[in-house]
Amino acid sequence: MKKLYVGNLPFTATEDEVRDLFSQHGTVHSVALIMDRETGRPRGFGFVEMDDEAAMAAIQALDGAEMGGRPLRVNEAQERRSGGGGGGGGYRGGGGGRGGGGGGRDRW
C-alpha cells in the first residue's frame, strides 16, 4: 500500500470528493484532508492511501489534473522525519592555534 500526497486542493474539497476522484483508478483505503489547527479550515492538501498499482495509476492520471479550477499535485508521500534538530550544537570553540597563550576564547 502507498500513501500519496495530494496538494493544491481547492479549499472547498471534501474527503468524499477526493475519494471519488481517486477511486476511478483503484481501491482507496483512506483519505485524510489536513485542517489548520487554529482556524479549523482546510489547508489545501491531504493524503490518500491506495494499493501500489492503483496509486501509481492515480499519480500518472491525476498529477496536474484540475479539480475546482486548480491543478493538483499528486506524488508518493515522503515519510516525515522525527525529531527537529540537527544534532544539537557540536561546535565548542577551542580557540586552537590562534595566537597562543589562551587569548583565543570565543565570545558569544
Residue in the structure block whose three cell numbers are 592555534: 97
Q: For position 81, what pLDDT does the model report?
A: 73
Is-contact 67 45, C-beta < 8 A?
no
Query: Model-level pTM?
Result: 0.73
User: Is a pLDDT exceeding 70 seen at residue 101?
Assistant: no
Q: For position 85, what pLDDT does the model report?
A: 52
User: Which has the higher per-residue pLDDT, 25 or 97?
Assistant: 25
pLDDT tens string 47-64: 999 999 999 999 999 999
As a whole number of angstroms, the distance between CA 36 and CA 66 comes to: 23
Per-residue pLDDT band for 87 (boundaries 50, 70, 90) equals low
